[in-house]
Amino acid sequence: MTDKDYDVIVVGAGNAALVSALTAHEAGARVLVLEAAPKKERGGNSRFAGAIFRFVHDGPTSIEPLLTAEARAWLDRVEVEPYTAERYYQDAQSTSGGRAHPGLLRLLVEKSHETVAWMRDRGVKWELAVGKLVDPDNIDPGEAYVLPAGGAVRVVNEGVGLMADLFDAVERAGIEVRYDSPAHELILEGSRVTGVRVRTEDGFVDVHGAVVLASGGFEANPEMRLRYLGAGWDLVKVRGSRFNMGTMLTQALNAGAQPAGHWGGCHASPLDADAPDVGDLRLTDKMSRYSYPYGLLVNVEGRRFVDEGEDEVWLTYAKTGGAIREQPQALAFQIFDQKMVHLLEPRYSTGTPVEADTIADLGNKLAIAARELERTVADFNAATTGGAFDPFSKDGRRAEPEGQPAKSNWAVPLESPPYVCYRVTCGITFTFGGLKIDEQARVIDTTGKPMRGLYATGELAGDFFYHNYPAGAGLVRGAVFGRIAGAEAAKLAAVAGRPCLPPSGP
């Protein structure tokens, strides 16, 4: 069965896809959005997100015009340093071990601010990320409340608000979105992509046009996780959408697209051990547990296994899930004392802590190696040194206990009972391996040539993140390259004339 023709077919209906669809529509293209999920579960991983956007800015003066009137009131009460393009580039490269594609990363960084402004102009509402990491009510009025420069701004009502605002814009524009419509494969004429075959209950429907793939990674697919990420990854909890199965990633590779990036790597973070196995839209990201820099992280053997204070949490959390997965039972315990509990993220309220007056009692209650835990904490406490504790910046309070990882910052003795402990496991967020794209978001084939008629953006594009990740770069990556993909696909359609079937030849 063949459906009517479009100029641009966007596969997926998350952040990357809808930004792409809006851009193509504004360029005059007739756009169809295909979404595998039913309408009530629409929005992909983007809807689960905390919706922090990492972008270049000059501090409060350049952030202010982006914010809603209500959100501007907070500017007098917080401190935010400027976030330069160079620092963004360095943060992204250092978390990726220097492997991120320099050209793609530069483009992401350079277009980050204008993309956030572009989204504001289409109805996305922005606010400061106050209360995400630390509850401002728990900080003395005389003390500064500092937001991380790269993670200072988020969408009002987080991922739920982001997707509601984007769907509103898509609906206002009259763009057709088909739900329950999983793309099944690409339609090819030689190495040209001319459309998408969609799986329906009754058969297949073919839709024609230039194709933008924005259908996410393979994080929800245990078979692919095992195949690419390795043993044990098939068993981890999934923080977000159940629909990102990697189908069109696989189909694009089968059609000759080139794989790129860290196929054995992913974003995975500490998640409450009682979180559901797959993301629940009633909880979104509220089961994440990122306050470990203020405490100790131990395994069932009572041993520490990471430097909890290696860097600001937004530069370590995305690899800490993987470190937890490597521990026995993929389980770990975040332990805090009374000096620190006021600094726990407000979302810890969704968890059930275990409390005890002594470390030995805590170990027994947790049914972990209590003696070893006592030794770990005693050795750690003995190795702490003085200095001022600063919850908002790396304070250089370092401990180097023998036989344990160092703690580079926030190393304060764990000594004020009752002790409070949260059980955590590894939650996968998204996969890093994807399709090779160029700076026009064109998918590159295995011979190094662009595949005519095929573009990609979002999680499905590779070569951005390796090993680790700076918070807030995922949504920006999808939006920056979503705009590029949408514009380029519309341009191709315009060259071809309507109805669009991408012409052959350059």
Residues that bind ligand FAD (CB under 6 A): 11-17, 34-37, 44-46, 48-52, 182-183, 214-216, 239-241, 243-245, 247-248, 285, 429-430, 458-459, 472-475, 478
* End-to-end C-alpha distance for the chain, whole angstroms: 30
CA within 13 Å, CB half, 91: 26
Distance in Å, CB of 250 to ligand FAD, minimum: 10
Cβ–Cβ < 8 Å for 56, 85: yes
Please give the DSSP secondary-structure letter assigned to residue 79. E
Single-letter amino acid code for the residue at 289: R
CB nearer to ligand FAD: pick between 170 and 300 = 170
CB nearer to ligand FAD: pick between 67 and 399 = 67
Strand partners, 205: 198
Distance in Å, CB of 359 to ligand FAD, minimum: 32
> 3-state DSSP call for residue 212?
strand
Distance in Å, CB of 26 to ligand FAD, minimum: 19
Cβ–Cβ < 8 Å for 229, 266: yes
Distance in Å, CB of 415 to ligand FAD, minimum: 34
CB nearer to ligand FAD: pick between 237 and 423 = 237
CB nearer to ligand FAD: pick between 289 and 303 = 289
- Inter-CA distances, 467 with 249, 322, 362, 471, Å: 20, 9, 33, 13
CB nearer to ligand FAD: pick between 46 and 404 = 46
Residue 177 CB-density burial (10 A; 0-12 exposed, 13-18 middle, 19+ buried): buried
CB nearer to ligand FAD: pick between 15 and 258 = 15
> 3-state DSSP call for residue 131?
coil
Distance in Å, CB of 328 to ligand FAD, minimum: 25
What own/partner pairs with CB < 8 Å and gap ≥ 24 does 322-326 have?
322/266, 322/268, 322/426, 324/270, 324/297, 324/424, 324/425, 324/426, 325/232, 325/233, 325/236, 325/268, 325/425, 325/426
Distance in Å, CB of 240 to ligand FAD, minimum: 3
Distance in Å, CB of 266 to ligand FAD, minimum: 11
CB nearer to ligand FAD: pick between 215 and 408 = 215
